[in-house]
Chains A and B, each alone.
Chain A
Amino acid sequence: MPHRYHLKLYIAGRTQRSEQCIVNLHSICEMELRGEYELSVIDVLENPQLAEDDKILATPTLIKKLPPPMRRLIGDLSEKEKVLIGMDLKDL
């Protein structure tokens, strides 16, 4: 089955905040996307060129590449409601 969601999470180093963010993201994805997602976690400290390519400023930044439209979410994903709206999983 093809993955419907393509997500990229940019973090700056493995810190408490970034670890928490990854945990938050996985829980949202398991709950809302029922496994139909592909997630890549990119550490900008190790791959600054990728951060440059996607014009990432803030960390953490989550980019929803698919399905369109492309969305950009900034922050540790602690505000779940906003995350769902931002990912087009919920209407305003």
Chain B
Amino acid sequence: MEGHQDIEKLATHIPGFDLIAAGGLPKGRTTLLAGSSGSAKTVFAAQFLAAGIRIDENGVFVTFEEPKEDIRSNVKGFGWDIKSWEKEGKWAFVDASPEPNQEATVVGEYDFGALLARVEYAVKKTGATRLSMDSVGAIFTRFSNQGVVRRELFRIVAALKEMGVTALLTVERIEEYGEISRIGVEEFVADNVIILRNALDEEKRRRTIEILKFRGAYHQKGEWPFTVSSGEGVVVLPLSAIELTQKSSDQRVFSGNEELDGMCGGGFFRDSVILVSGATGTGKTLLATKFLAGGASQGEKCLMLAFEESREQLIRNARGWSEDFVGMEEAGQLKIICSYPEIASLEEHLIEIKDAIEEFRPNRLAVDSLSALERVATVKGYREFIVGLTSFVKHREIAGLFTVTAPTLLGGTSITESHISTITDTIILLRYVEVYGDIRRGVVVLKMRGSKHEKEIRQFTIDAKGMHIGRPFRGISGILSGNPVQAGADEIERLNELFKTE
């Protein structure tokens, strides 16, 4: 057993994986990939090779279960043309799948010398530095002498190490949160283990990948969500990871409303995450609309991600507040993307959003609303989604405004806020205020990281021009808690007394 601190890593180039693996797979070693049926083991194993071929690292795929023809056709949907790679000598199959109608009879002692010879031959023929074996459990099922199978697999793993090949061995599990594998392979491939899960969580399937251990090498702990997308394969979403080296901008940008800029001490910060929370109808979409229009007026590119209203509704609403979304779109300054939250999982939505951002390269974006997405996800999934989205946006120095529906008409804090309270730079609350039988509106900047800001709750009105922020509420307390109470004259006197400076 070696006692070194850091084993060299091989970058797999599987999206997101190298980040949680702190570089990639342990180089020149064999890693066990354990997963229940349907957990995408074979896709991952094939992708390991496909990603390698793109960077001139050839690979060998040893298949114990599915014949090579099936694997070729199964992965076509991801854009991997295995057949042509085989012709070019970049990919070689070692097809050890069972021959139909030709099950073997055991008539004496045996070993897997032929398998080993075939593997070595394939590696030498292609000059492969990567190898995937799928799936080891199948070979245990076919040969009753478990002792021989174990010993021979050990021999093959040792040979792979000798050849300097970085290998992935897939093995089945029965339970998502139980033993590593059903056949106890840990004795010979115990050093490096990755687990793929496809667990049922609140009636939804949730795919996660966990690097259980890399002997002698660093990796991120815990489970990370991933998705299998056609055209790419496995995409790991290191959502909450660790782009802690987020530089903070102190450059200000126009919020879309001059009075609001003033309340914030000069506008929003270039790379801030702004949460706008309010009950339905309080003006969140208006604020988002003005935020985008404000950006466009400064020559910025703006992206609107809408999950609650249709394109036509958004455009009509904007027009009602004197903003011409169609004109902005035509000028290339605005892009509107509308989606039903239900049509995809949050991971898929996140990928779509990231792709849209990469393509359009906006300077600012608005999401209306996060709450629409919260409704279709599990608590865990939602949390990971917004952490992932906001850190992605921040990292690109895009000002992101996110609307959130407060749970009650008159106040209270939303769950979203508690999820990302540490990430949000700016929180703006919009509230209804009942004053002597009248419903008025109030806006307050609750938080403005890195800047002085007004603490007062101001009244505002909405008209065809948009939002007009006026004077602060006087003589009323408890607006944020949802229980506005008019302070009587005596009360005001008393409070003044309390804060008198002598």
Q: Which residues of B contact A23 (CB under 8 A)?
A: none
Q: Is B107 an interface residue (CB 8 A)?
A: yes
User: How far, in whole Å, are A60 and B105 apart by their CA atoms in the complex?
Assistant: 12
Q: Which residues of B contact A70 (CB under 8 A)?
A: 102
User: How far, in whole Å, are A48 and B124 apart by their CA atoms in the complex?
Assistant: 11
Q: Of the candidates A44, A74, A76, which one forms a contact with B117 in the assembled complex, judged by CB atoms under 8 Å apart? A: A44
Do A49 and B105 touch (CB < 8 A)? Answer: no
Evaluate whether A12 and B107 lie within 8 angstroms (CB atoms) in the complex, with A48-B118, A48-B121, A55-B99 already known. no
**Number of residues from B at the complex interface, CB < 8 A:** 28
Q: Which residues of B contact A78 (CB under 8 A)?
A: 107-109
Q: Which residues of B contact A3 (CB under 8 A)?
A: none
Q: Is A91 an interface residue (CB 8 A)?
A: no
CB distance from B283 to the nearest CB of A (A): 69
Do A76 and B121 touch (CB < 8 A)? Answer: no
Evaluate whether A75 and B107 lie within 8 angstroms (CB atoms) in the complex, with A55-B95, A58-B114 already known. yes
Q: Is B177 an interface residue (CB 8 A)?
A: no
Q: Is B499 an interface residue (CB 8 A)?
A: no
Q: Of the candidates B102, B108, B117, which one forms a contact with A12 in the assembled complex, judged by CB atoms under 8 Å apart? A: B117
CB 8 Å contact bits of B98-120 with A (1 = contact, 0 = none)? 01011111111111111111101
Q: Which residues of A contact B109 (CB under 8 A)?
A: 17, 75-76, 78
Q: Which residues of B contact A83 (CB under 8 A)?
A: 107
Q: Which residues of A contact B340 (CB under 8 A)?
A: none
User: How far, in whole Å, are A58 and B116 apart by their CA atoms in the complex?
Assistant: 9
Do A51 and B114 touch (CB < 8 A)? Answer: yes
Q: Which residues of A contact B103 (CB under 8 A)?
A: 72
CB distance from A88 to the nearest CB of B (A): 11
**A72 — nearest CB in chain B belongs to which residue?**
B104
Do B105 and A58 touch (CB < 8 A)? Answer: no
Do B115 and A73 touch (CB < 8 A)? Answer: no
1-16 of chain A: CB within 8 A of chain B: 10-13
User: How far, in whole Å, are A48 and B94 apart by their CA atoms in the complex?
Assistant: 11
Q: Which residues of B contact A86 (CB under 8 A)?
A: 105, 107
Interface on A for B, CB 8 Å cutoff?
10-13, 17, 21, 24, 44-45, 48-49, 51-52, 55-62, 69-79, 82-83, 85-86
Sampled A-B contacts (22; CB under 8 Å):
A11-B113, A45-B117, A48-B120, A52-B118, A55-B99, A56-B115, A58-B111, A58-B112, A59-B110, A59-B111, A70-B102, A71-B102, A72-B103, A73-B105, A74-B106, A74-B110, A75-B106, A75-B109, A76-B107, A78-B109, A82-B106, A86-B107
Starting from the known contacts A11-B113, A45-B113, 5 additional A-B residue pairs (CB-CB under 8 Å) come to A44-B117, A48-B120, A52-B118, A61-B110, A77-B107
